[in-house]
Structure 1
Amino acid sequence: MIQLTLAALFFIGIHFLIAGTRWRDRLVARYGERVYRIGFSSLSVLGLFWLIYAYRHAPYIETWGQLAWFKPVAALLMLVAFILAVTGVTTLNPTAVNGESRLYEAEPARGILRVTRHPFLWGVGLWAIVHLIANGDAAALVLFGSLLLLTIGGTRSIDAKRQRRFGEQWAKFTAVTSNIPFNAIREGRNQLKLAEIGWWRIALALLLYLGMMHFHTQLFGVSPLF
C-alpha cells in the first residue's frame, strides 16, 4: 500500500502542482510549449504506469467489500460514463490540447459541450466513483479515489489555465457552458440538442461499452453483472 500511495501522490501532484498553475506558465515561457508538453506527457505516462503497477501488486484489504446489489446500478452508470467520455474525446473542445480554435467560432459550445465543457473528465470521474464503490477495498479506494480527485480538480485547473491565456474569448465560452453537467441548460444559458452530439458518437460509445461488458470478466476477473 505504501508504493500505491506514493504513486497516487506523484500522479496527483504533477497535475495539481504543475498543470494549470503558474508554474506551468513559467515552464512554458522558459522552455516553450512543445518541450513542456513532451516533458509533462512523459511524466504523466510514467506516473500512470507506476499507479497501475502499484495497484496490481497492492494487498487486498477489504473495506465495505463488493456490493452485489450495486452491480446493476454500476452497469447503468458506466453506460453514461462511456457516452460522456467517447463523445467528449471525439468532439473538438477548447478545453483540450489544440482545440483552442473553437473559441473563435460563432457558436463554440455545440454538441456535448452544451451539456458540460468537460465531458471526457466527467466520464472518467464517473467511471472512477463507480469502481471505487463497486470494489470495496483499500487499494481501490486509493486508486479510484485519486483519479476521481484528479478529474474534479482537473476541470477547475483547465478552466483557470484557459482563463489566463484566452481571457475574454474564454469568458464568452464559459458564459454559455458549465462545468457541472446540464447546469448551463438548467439555468437557461444553453439548450440540449441531441442531434448535434452525433449519433455515430453515441453508437461508438455503446459499442465500446458492450465490448467492455462482454470482456470484463476475462480482462479483470470480475463479472460486471453477477
Structure 2
Amino acid sequence: MTWFFISIVAFLAGHILPGMFRRQLVAALGTSLYLFAFSAISIGLLVWVIGAELNADYIALWPYDPRSHWVPLVAMLPVCWLWVAAVRQPCPLSIGRAKGYDPDHPGINRFTRHPLLLGVVIWGSAHLFPNGHLAAAIFFGGSALFGVLGMARMEKMRLRQLGAAEFDRLSAGTRRFYLPGLFKGALDWRDILGGLILYGAILALHPLVLGRDPLAF
C-alpha cells in the first residue's frame, strides 16, 4: 500500500501546486505550453495511481455482490455521453474550451456546467459498488470527491479570470446540475453516437489495459 499512498500524494501535489503558481508558470511558459505540460503530468500521475491501485494489498471492506457489477456497466454509458459532450461542446466555466460558446444555446451547460467532472463523479461512485476493498475505495471514492470539489474550484477560478459581469453572462441559463436541462437540447445525435463508440471502446480495451473484463461476471 505504500506506493499507492505515495502515488496519491504525488497526484494531489501535481494538481494543487500548479494551481498555486499558475500565473507565474503561464507567464514563464505561455498558456499553450503550460496546459500541455500540466495535462501530460496529470495523465502520467493518473497512470501511476491506477497501476499502484491495481497492485496494492487487498484489504476487504465489504463483501462482493455479483449484482453490483451492473452498477458501473449501466452508469458508464451516461458517463461516456458526458465526456464526449465535454470534448465536443464548449464548456467555458469548466474544463474544456470556451470558443464557440453561445449563452442563448448553452447545450450541455443547460444540464451541467461541468460534464467532464460530473462524469468523473458518476464513474468513481459507480465503481465503488463492486470494488469493496481499501485501495479501490480510496481511489474511486477520492476521484468522486475530487470531481465534486473540482466543480466549485473551477467556478471560483473562472470568476477570478473573467470577472463577475462576464461570469454572470456566461452562466446565465446554466446549472451545476439540473436534470430537466438534459431534455432541453443538452445532447445531440453526435454526442449520443460518440458516447456509444466510447462506451464500446472502453468495454473492449478494459481487459487489455487493466486486466479486468467488465463483462466477465
TM-score bucket (shorter structure)? 0.7 to 0.9
Which residue pairs with 1:92 in the alignment?
90
Unpaired runs of 5+ in structure 1?
Answer: none
Listed one character per residue, the Cα deviations across residues 155-191 of structure 1 (whole Å, up to 9, x for unaligned) are 1221111111111212222232112x216x5xxxx78
Cα deviation for residue 35 of structure 1 reads: 4.1
Which residue pairs with 2:99 in the alignment?
101
Which residue pairs with 2:128 in the alignment?
132
The answer to whether the aligner puts 1:171 opposite 2:171 as a matched pair is no
Cα deviation for residue 215 of structure 1 reads: 5.7
Which residue pairs with 2:154 in the alignment?
158
Map 1:9-28 → 2, pairs under 5 A: 9-19=9-19, 21=20, 23-28=21-26
* Aligned length in residues: 215
Which residue pairs with 2:195 in the alignment?
205
- Measure the CA separation in 1 of the matches of 2:32 and 2:72: 39
Identity of aligned residues (%): 29
The alignment's TM-score, normalised by the length of structure 2, stands at: 0.83
Q: 1:88 to 1:52 in 2, by over 3 A?
A: same
The alignment's TM-score, normalised by the length of structure 1, stands at: 0.80
Q: After the TM superposition, which parts of structure 1 deviate over 6 Å for at least 4 consecutive aligned residues?
A: none
Which residue pairs with 1:141 in the alignment?
137
Cα deviation for residue 136 of structure 1 reads: 1.0
- Measure the CA separation in 2 of the matches of 1:38 and 1:117: 23
Unpaired runs of 5+ in structure 2?
Answer: none
Which residue pairs with 2:52 in the alignment?
54
Which residue pairs with 1:76 in the alignment?
74
Give yes or no for contact 1:75–1:225 (8 Å, CA) kept in 2.
Answer: no
Listed one character per residue, the Cα deviations across residues 114-160 of structure 1 (whole Å, up to 9, x for unaligned) are 10011111112211111122211111112212222222222122111
**RMSD (Å), alpha carbons:** 2.7
**94-103 vs 146-155, which moves further:** 94-103
Listed one character per residue, the Cα deviations across residues 73-92 of structure 1 (whole Å, up to 9, x for unaligned) are 33222222122112222212
Cα deviation for residue 210 of structure 1 reads: 3.6
Give yes or no for contact 2:91–2:98 (8 Å, CA) kept in 1.
Answer: yes
Give yes or no for contact 1:128–1:147 (8 Å, CA) kept in 2.
Answer: yes
**1:16 partner amino acid:** I
Cα deviation for residue 31 of structure 1 reads: 4.4
SS in 1 for 2:153: helix
Cα deviation for residue 112 of structure 1 reads: 1.4
